[in-house]
Amino acid sequence: MSRSGDVMAGKEQGFKAVINDTNPKSNGRSYSTDITGSNYNHFLGKSIGDAVDGMFIGEGDQSLSGYKLQITGGSDVTGRPMRPDLDGSGVKSVLVSPGVGYKGKRYVKKNAQVYRYKYQGIRRRRNLRGNVISQDTRQINLKVVKAGKRSLPVLFGLEEEAAAETPSDEEE
């Protein structure tokens, strides 16, 4: 038996979720958290564009209950991006123009300097992952569609929750 098989069997599966705050006050801030356990199984089989309840992200007090999130993309173990127009969860070799998975730049050395060109109509064959989340997926990108009662900076511990606006009954 190989030792690497034993190590992999003990490792718990999980995703890294990157949540993009669409609130204009946050200036496009994003937050990352891990998704493991039973919440991990909830995401398997979902595809890009699906809406997900926020209660499956985070644990305990940091749960995003009340939030509605939309899956916008992701990447796999090797860093291959998920492409919304490819069906399934496997890797496919696709001829792509600049966009998701290919920037479309060509670097040329001239006179000891490197110049970056963007040619019109340039296309390349790239290996990209399909739009369905599988066990090979390691990162999921999400955006907030509907916000909950508590703000994201408070949930992730970056800001203190506003002090009690009304005096509590226990103080009397």
Output Rg (C-alpha) for the chain, integer angstroms: 21
Give the tens place of pLDDT for each residue, 2-31: 444 444 444 668 889 999 988 888 888 888
Q: Kindly report the pTM of this predicted structure.
A: 0.76
Q: Round to whole Å and give the CA distance between 58 and 39.
A: 9
pLDDT(70) > 90: yes
pLDDT(164) > 60: no
Backbone angles phi, psi at 43, to 5 degrees: -85, -20
Give the tens place of pLDDT for each residue, 74-85: 999 999 999 999
